[in-house]
Each structure stands twice: as structure tokens, then as C-alpha cells.
Structure 1
Amino acid sequence: MRGISCPGPIVEAKKLINGLQSGEVLKLVSNCPGIKSDIAGWTRATGLKLLDTVETAPGEYEFFIAKARP
């Protein structure tokens, strides 16, 4: 979701997460300023699991988010 301003990446990620089965992982790529703290807070608040965060280029991140098992 490069080039999409916050909270756009989280809004789109929510739509994608809703389509996943429990335990499946979403890879989200974003260069939105502030996305690291936004993703961390969102996953905590929604019961998702942030598995990993990788900075692939300056200011660009890959987030691996698992849908929690029931």
C-alpha cells in the first residue's frame, strides 16, 4: 500500500484480514509516515498478532500480521 496516507493502509488491511482464516498471515507493505506505531496499536487493540516488522528501504516497512486463533 505504498503511497497511501494513514489511516488508509490500516483500513485496507482490515478488509483483507476479515477475509483470512484464523492463523493465516497478511503481509502489509507501506511507506506511510507513522505506520509503525499505527500498526502496533491497531494489532494490540484488535487482538491480531504482529509477527514481524521489516524495514525494506528507508521509511518503507513490511508487516506480517496473523489473524488470531479462536
Structure 2
Amino acid sequence: MAADQVLDCSGLNCPLPVLRTKKAVDAMTSGQVLQMISTDPGSQNDITAWCKRTNNTLLGATAEGGKFIFSIKKS
């Protein structure tokens, strides 16, 4: 699924990737997809927990070359 928006949080540490993800998702409409890129290993657990807490859907999460890429669908 193609992302409607890409958010690059590379170089940012907790809690900034989650805070910026929240801000980006809040500005989107229901059904849109955000691709978030992070270099913070903690974001793997943080984004998964945030999606569950906010009822947004984590479509996928991959790790490659020190980057963590998340696809999040706004509920």
C-alpha cells in the first residue's frame, strides 16, 4: 500500500518519533497511510504500543540498514 505521507524521524530519539508521528497522523484523514522512518531502536516498541493505544492500524514494520520503517493507517 502506498503511503499518503512520509515522515522522516531519522536521528531523533524517544519520545520525538512518537510525538511527531502523532502530530502527522492527527492531521490526516481516516484511512490515510503514514510511512514513518526512524533510527531509534526504541521506536519499534513505542510505535506498536502507540498504535494499539490510539486504535490506529500498524500495517507493517521493517528494519533495514539501521532504519526502522513503519506504515500506519489512521483509524
Give the TM-score, by structure 1 length.
0.90
Contact persistence 2:41–2:68 (CA under 8 A): no
Q: Is 1:65 the equivalent of 2:72?
A: yes
What is the CA-CA distance between 1:13 and the residue it aligns to?
0.6
Aligned length: 67
Contact persistence 1:24–1:66 (CA under 8 A): yes
* Structure 1 portions without partners, runs of 5+: none
Residue equivalent to 2:11? 3
Contact persistence 2:18–2:47 (CA under 8 A): yes
Q: Is 1:34 the equivalent of 2:42?
A: yes
CA distance in 2: counterparts of 1:38 and 1:13, whole angstroms: 11
The AA in structure 2 aligned to 1:27 is Q
Identity %: 33
RMSD value over aligned CA atoms? 0.8
What is the CA-CA distance between 1:56 and the residue it aligns to?
2.2
CA distance in 2: counterparts of 1:33 and 1:7, whole angstroms: 12
Task: Give per-residue Cα distances to partners, 1:6-63, cap 9 Å, x unaligned.
Answer: 11001001110011110000000001121101111000000110000111213x1110
